[in-house]
Chain A
Amino acid sequence: MNFGPFIFLGSFVALLISWAGLILVPQLQLKDLQPETDNTTGLSKPAQPAGMALQGASVYRANGCNYCHSQQVRQTSFYYDVVLEAAGDFPDVFTRTLMEVNPKWEDFEAEMFADSSYEGEVLFKNIDQFRKNYIEKSFENAGIGDLGVKIKYVFRPSGPDISRGWGQRGSVATDYLYDQPVMIGQQRVGPDLTTIGARVPDETRQLLHLYNPRSVTDGSTMPAYRYLFKKQAIGDEPSPTALPLADVFAPEEGFEIVPKEEALQLVAYLKSLNVQSALFTAPMATPAE
Chain B
Amino acid sequence: MPVPDAATLAKRERIIAAMRAIVPGEGVIVEAAALRPWESDALTAYRQPPMLVVLPETTAQVSAILTWCHAENVKVVPRGSGTSLSGGALPLADAVLLGLGKFKRILDVDYDDRVAVVQPGVTNLAITQAVEGRGFYYAPDPSSQIACSIGGNVAENSGGVHCLKYGLTTNNVLGVELVLMDGEIVRLGGRHLDSCGLDLLGVIVGSEGLLGVVTEVTVRILPKPETARAVLVGFPDAEQAGACVAQVIAEGIIPAGMEMMDRPAIHAAEAFVQVGYPLDVGALLIVEVDGPAAECDHLIAEIARIANENGAVTSRVSTDEAERMAFWAGRKAAFPAVGRISPDYLCMDGTIPRRRLPEVLRRMEELSAHHGLGVANVFHAGDGNLHPLILYDANIPGQLDAAEAFGSDILRLCVEVGGVLTGEHGVGIEKRDLMPVMFTESDLQQQQRVKCAFDPELLLNPGKVFPTLHRCAELGRMHVHHGALPFPDLPRF
Q: Do A and B come from one complex?
A: no
